[in-house]
Amino acid sequence: MQEILDRDAVARGLRRVAGEIVERHRGVEQLLLVGIRRGGVPVARALARWLLDLEGYDVPVGSVDITLYRDDAATALPNPRIGASEIPGGVDGRHVILVDDVIQSGRTIRAAIDALMDYGRPRRIELATVVDRGGRELPIQPNFVLRSIEVPANERVDLLEEPGGLRVVIQPLTAPSTYPARP
């Protein structure tokens, strides 16, 4: 396992992204952060804390489960475990920032946008991610990113949520998953 972003680097990067969001939106009152289950949820919460620190406004944080929106759901998920989606206050007319831990092919983001649109019509959707590992199959690009890095196909990038913060590691695909089992 190779650490590519330690807790301090993730915290600094999220603080920088929070500043970029404030500048781009001239405040945060119309924002809704939506973390893509599972890896995007802790990132969205951390980003919300930085936005609160910068602007003094508690940006709502929701989550979206994309299980049934995946384009490979029928073949890759013979017994899907569907998690809850929570969208506080709805999305109609809001500026939504989808948050994920890692972007690669773009398929997760496409599925998340499809899921989000079932909740209404946002005014705008943007994407924030911790790591852009390349390998895009769809024309989707993050608006906000902490780090871009090329990762070989036989390795994966994992976000680790630990006491004291978030960190990012690269490990072989054969290593056990770092995500907790779904309830």
183 residues of the chain, pLDDT tens digit each? 899 999 999 999 999 999 999 999 999 999 999 999 989 999 999 999 999 999 999 999 999 999 888 665 445 545 556 678 899 999 999 999 999 999 999 999 999 999 999 999 999 999 999 999 998 999 999 999 999 999 998 999 999 999 999 999 999 988 766 655 444
Query: Residue 173 has what pLDDT?
Result: 87
Query: Angle 40-55/7-25 helices, nearest 10 degrees?
Result: 60
Domains of the chain in sequence order: 8-73+85-153 (3.40.50.2020)
Query: Residue 114 has what pLDDT?
Result: 93
Reported for 154-162, long-range contacts at CB under 8 A and 24+ positions apart, including other chains, are 157/4, 157/101, 157/102, 157/131, 157/133, 159/39, 159/42, 159/43, 159/101, 159/102, 159/130, 159/131, 161/42, 162/7
| 102 neighbors 133 (Cβ within 8 angstroms) | yes
**Which helix (H) or strand (E) covers residue 31, if one does?**
strand 31-36
**Tens-digit pLDDT profile for residues 101-150:** 999 999 999 999 999 999 999 999 999 999 999 989 999 999 999 999 99
> CA-based Rg of the chain, rounded to a whole angstrom?
16
